[in-house]
Amino acid sequence: MSAMAVAAKRYAKALFALAKEKGSVEETGAQFEAVAAALEGNADIRNFFDHPNIGADAKVRALKQAVGGQVSDYVLNTLMLLVERGRGAAIGEVSSAYRAIADESLGRAQARVTSAFALSAEQQQEIARKFGALTGKEVAVETVVDPSILGGIRVRIGDTLYDGSLSTKLAEIERSFNHAR
């Protein structure tokens, strides 16, 4: 894990502790994600915050002007602290780490489901239900279409990969034939 990821996790934990104390875990996550998405989605804004010749004071003033009054004080303070300490580039990582911490605390999991074809809403709900029962968590499904897997699905929840893809099955059969020779 990179030093930036470790730092991002620390900031996310501190922000989560504040949000939990205030009873606003979801709202805080949504606010932080919105700011992170705005920074990631606009190259000019990202370049401004990443530019080494622009002082932290100017960046903090711009941040206050842009999001002040639209986010909670502790979200704004966390953002300002990141910018002041030269870690503005970690805002996206802090957002992701916060979501992971919040999901774990609230008994939720994010599942990235890869399939050869687009899945219907019913199929996504069935996958969420089955993997929810398997993990004991409420599972939210994000789908990705990848025709190279040929058929079946791959489900990644956290660090665990459940691979039921046809391409993997075929590769396993090929390895067993090669091993049998």
Pair 59, 141 in one domain: no
Gap between the Cα atoms of 171 and 121, Å rounded = 30
pLDDT band, residue 81 (cuts 50/70/90): very high
**Are 92 and 118 in the same domain?**
no
Whether residue 114 is found in the same domain as residue 176? yes
Say whether both 22 and 95 belong to one domain: yes
Q: What dihedral angle (degrees, nearest 10) is formed by the CA atoms of 59, 63, 85, 55?
A: 10
142 and 66 belong to one structural domain: no
Give residue 46's pLDDT band: very low, low, confident or very high (50, 70, 90): confident
- Structural domain span for residue 111: 107-180
pLDDT band at 21 (very low <50, low <70, confident <90, very high): very high
Per DSSP, 88 falls in state G
Q: Residue for token digits 């704004």?
A: 76
CA distance 115 to 144: 6
Q: How many domains does the chain have?
A: 2
One domain for residues 22 and 75: yes
Give the rounded distance of the alpha carbon of 19 from its chain centre.
Answer: 18
Listed in sequence order, the DSSP H helices in 23-165 are 25-41, 43-50, 56-67, 73-84, 91-105, 121-135
Whole-number average pLDDT of the chain: 92
Provide mean pLDDT across the span 70-89: 92
Looking at the fold, whether 12 and 98 belong to one and the same domain comes out as yes
**Residue 149 scores a pLDDT above 80:** yes
- Report the CATH number that the domain containing residue 48 is assigned in CATH: 1.10.520.20
Q: What is the pTM of this model?
A: 0.76
For range 115-123, the mean pLDDT: 96
